[in-house]
Amino acid sequence: MAEPRKGRASGIGGIVTARISGGPVRSLRARYPLLVLLGQRIALSAGLLLAVSLMIFLGVEALPGDFAQTYLGQSATPQAVANIRAELGLDQPAVSRYLDWLGGVLRGDFGQSWASRLSVSDQIAGRLGNTLFLAFCAAIVAVPLAVGLGMLSVLYRDRFADRFINVLSLGAISLPEFFVGYLLILVFGIQLGWVSFPSTVYAGMPFGARLQAVALPVATLVLVVLAHMMRMTRAAILNVMSQAYIETAELKGLSAMRIIAHHAAPNALAPIINVVALNLAYLVVGVVVVEVVFVYPGMGQYMVDAVSVRDMPVVQACGLIFASVYIVLNMVADILGILANPRLRHPR
């Protein structure tokens, strides 16, 4: 009597079991691990941004005082205050106002400024451009300088140059940005008169004049973020320098700078990318103090002016944009870290 074909039966059973236990998600993860990782990061960033929008709205709602009363003054009648609240929609439930605001944000409409009665989106457009220009100028100076100083510090490790760079970086980290800003204003703006103060820019301003106007704010931001990026670059490269393949390169007679630039630095990209992205996010999000110090017409100054008059649509819009920039840059850093690390691209 012929025996049953156990191989075929077990094969079919194995396929059924795999489909039940693993499902299409595990199959997709096994076939396209990189796409799944990227999709997870994007979905996580979108969920985090939604949670941040809710936190911003609730934080604004929790602020003491009332815009209508502040806008009309203490002598305003209760009826006048009620009319302003009704006109601005402040008499509606908080849930309804949040959903209306979120729906407008998804359409690119941040509402109307309570103080100026102008479109917040139109007002933010120019201010955001000024802030991004300031951050871009600081980034193109700080990032290459930080990476170069980090590599130089590794090249002259435990020697005078390394110690000198580390002392300067520790000093830069210890000084608050407003102190650095006022010090630069005193020396280069008032005593030497090399640059103008306040740092005023406007539409149609010549590029050279714009660069001169942002020189002091850019120098302040560079000094603030340079040390952190440089020290992280140094630490990441030193961690790679202890690997066996670095010893092999040294035994081949390669120069120290060639080993650092062509062998160590490329394999230390992931942590360097992360710290650079975090500091780039700071250059956009953390410019509030610098813009106030230099009276620079950017997003930070706009947000501070809105807080002083309790213009909540502007405060919410600025807060959400700052959060979006920070979350997106962190997501980009995470994705670039995955692309730069083969162990993350092909997880087991």
134-192 pLDDT, tens digit each: 889 998 998 889 888 888 888 888 888 888 888 888 887 788 888 888 888 888 888 88
Greater model confidence, 34 or 226? 226
DSSP string for 270-304: HHHHHHHHHHHHHHHHTTHHHHHHHT--SHHHHHH
30 confidence band (pLDDT: 50, 70, 90): low
Q: Is the pLDDT of residue 93 over 60?
A: yes
Query: Is it true that the peptide bond before 33 is cis, omega within 30 degrees of 0?
Result: no
Q: What was the pLDDT predicted at 313?
A: 85
Q: What was the pLDDT predicted at 16?
A: 43
Q: Is the pLDDT of residue 126 over 70?
A: yes
**Nearest Cα to Cα of residue 299 among 131, 136, 110:** 131
Q: What was the pLDDT predicted at 21?
A: 44
Query: Distance between CA atoms of 68 and 78, rounded to whole angstroms?
Result: 10
Q: Is the pLDDT of residue 2 over 60?
A: no
Q: Is the pLDDT of residue 40 over 70?
A: yes
Query: Distance between CA atoms of 239 and 264, rounded to whole angstroms?
Result: 9
Q: What is the amino acid identity at position 335? A: I
259-276 pLDDT, tens digit each: 887 777 777 777 788 788
Q: Which of 53-57, 319-323, 344-348 has the lowest mean pLDDT?
A: 344-348
Query: Distance between CA atoms of 60 and 53, rounded to whole angstroms?
Result: 11
210-224 pLDDT, tens digit each: 888 888 999 999 888
Query: Distance between CA atoms of 69 and 57, rounded to whole angstroms?
Result: 20
Q: What was the pLDDT predicted at 31?
A: 67
283-309 pLDDT, tens digit each: 887 788 888 888 888 888 888 888 877
The set of residues, in sequence order, having a beta carbon less than 8 Å from that of 102 and lying 6+ positions away, is 53
1 confidence band (pLDDT: 50, 70, 90): very low
Q: What is the amino acid identity at position 49? A: L
Q: Is the pLDDT of residue 17 over 50?
A: no
Q: Is the pLDDT of residue 112 over 60?
A: yes
User: Which pTM was predicted?
Assistant: 0.74
Q: What was the pLDDT predicted at 18?
A: 43
**Nearest Cα to Cα of residue 332 among 282, 281, 267:** 281
Q: What was the pLDDT predicted at 309?
A: 75
Neighbours of 10 (CB within 10 A): 11
319-334 pLDDT, tens digit each: 888 888 888 888 887 7
Q: What is the largest CA-CA distance in the chain?
A: 107
Q: What was the pLDDT predicted at 342?
A: 60
Q: What was the pLDDT predicted at 33?
A: 66
Contact in structure between 198 and 155 (CB atoms under 8 Å): no
Q: What was the pLDDT predicted at 116?
A: 78
The average confidence (pLDDT) of the chain is 79
Domains and CATH numbers, the chain: 120-345 (1.10.3720.10)
27 confidence band (pLDDT: 50, 70, 90): low
Instruction: Give me the count of residues in the chain.
Output: 348
Q: What was the pLDDT predicted at 248?
A: 78
